[in-house]
Structure 1
Amino acid sequence: MFVLHAHPGRARPISLALLGLLAGFAAQPAPVLAQDNPSGLKLPRFVSTRSNPINVRVGPGTKYDIAWNFVVSGVPVEIIQEFDTWRKIRDVEGDEGWVHQSLLVGNRIGYATPLLANGEVTMHSGKSEGSGIRARLAPGVRVTISACDGTWCNIAASQAGERSTYSGWVRQEELWGVYPDEEFD
């Protein structure tokens, strides 16, 4: 069994206190299909950053000031609005800003968000609390989400400084980067 720890993916560190509030974000309504979006895709939806660094702006265009930047790629964000080729995103801390669509990719990435304060997310070998434990994920560990069935998600996570990747199943409610009851593979 391994304990995986978080790495910040943006110029400001992720506040662990705010990660505790993520349980409230999990109660968001299911995404709906919005017909008037430039992309025609549903809003809200989760994606990840394509490259680094990425300037997040206060408005949809390069004429707007830079609010902050992402310093690594593969950071999960939620698209909450679209304007032409610009996407308004929300990060794990709830901060919002605008990025160009070319800087985002549809890869499903998320963060481990334990339900209990100061807890860990247990990665299982199967879709059951009774299945073997593969790893325990510290709050904020970044994971790749490959499939979700509405209750469980198949994920992969890597230990800092190691080449090995651990994969298994976690309860969907303990991830930021997927909606409650969302299903995909």
Structure 2
Amino acid sequence: MGRMIAALAVVLALVAGAKTQAQDMAVEPSVEAAMAPPPGMPGMGPVTNLPLPRYVSLKTSEGNARRGPGLTHRIDWVFTRAGMPLRVTAEYEHWRRVEDFEGAGGWVHYSLLSGVRSAMVVAEMADLHEDPASGSPVNVHAERGVIVRLLQCITDWCRIGAGGERGWVIKTALWGVDPDEVLE
């Protein structure tokens, strides 16, 4: 049997407890329209000229997600895991609207985000294979909730690193990479 990369239940409990859901996430409609591409249509961010939506990771062990783009807006969530993958869905000046794997989020200052790619294991248990093939040997298992570093992705597989271990995982076991995305 391979070694287990264990997700800390305490950390997951902290993440769940740190989020407080607000019913109304409204930002002025005219401002909102200027910040994101039309629904269901990928576009480019008006500030960075990078693709929207796109994935990033949280640089710090704590990041406030606000109701709107600015310090005067109320904090709705607090992300508490460094390296956590987040999806950027809009931009406004120095602010990025992000969401986590559950769809929770808000506006985060860009200085809290990194372009380093990570992903979260969303399968109950993900097998880390030696090669990108289901028949290849499994050396390690990763539990649901483990944050991993994306090293490379091909059509159906991603090579990941976590806890000093590396291996290939089927893409569907991860959140933080699009199904058709290739990373080299």
Change (3 A) 1:36 1:145: closer
State yes or no: 1:59 paired with 2:62: no
State yes or no: 1:139 paired with 2:148: no
Deviation track 1:26-85 (CA, whole Å, cap 9, x = no partner) reads xxx9983x2452110001111001123211111100010111212332111100111111
Q: Provide the C-alpha distance between the structure 1 equivalents of 2:183 and 2:45, rounded to a whole number of angstroms.
A: 24
Partner SS, residue 173 of structure 1: helix
User: Which shifted more, 51-60 or 126-135?
Assistant: 51-60
User: 5 Å matches for 1:2-81?
Assistant: 2-7=3-8, 8=11, 11-13=14-16, 32=42, 34-35=43-44, 37-81=46-90
Q: Provide the C-alpha distance between the structure 2 equivalents of 1:66 and 1:146, rounded to a whole number of angstroms.
A: 33
Q: Which structure has more helix as a fraction of its residues?
A: 2
Q: What is the TM-score normalised by the length of structure 1?
A: 0.79
1:153 to 152, 158, 161: 158
Q: Provide the C-alpha distance between the structure 2 equivalents of 1:171 and 1:109, rounded to a whole number of angstroms.
A: 15
1:93: how far off? 1.6
Q: Provide the C-alpha distance between the structure 2 equivalents of 1:44 and 1:36, rounded to a whole number of angstroms.
A: 8
Change (3 A) 1:2 1:139: same
Q: What is the TM-score normalised by the length of structure 2?
A: 0.80
Calculate percent identity across the aligned residue pairs: 34
Change (3 A) 1:146 1:36: closer
Specify the code of the residue in structure 2 equivalent to 1:179.
Answer: D
Q: Provide the C-alpha distance between the structure 2 equivalents of 1:11 and 1:50, rounded to a whole number of angstroms.
A: 18
**Bigger relative contact order (CA 8 A; separation at least 6):** 1
Provide structure 2 residue ranges, at least 5 long, that are not aligned to the other structure.
Answer: 18-38
Deviation track 1:145-170 (CA, whole Å, cap 9, x = no partner) reads 11101211010111xxxxxx110100
The answer on whether the counterparts of 1:6 and 1:140 sit within 8 Å (CA) in structure 2 is yes
State yes or no: 1:96 paired with 2:105: yes
Q: CA RMSD in A?
A: 2.1
Aligned residue pairs total: 160
User: Which shifted more, 72-81 or 40-49?
Assistant: 72-81
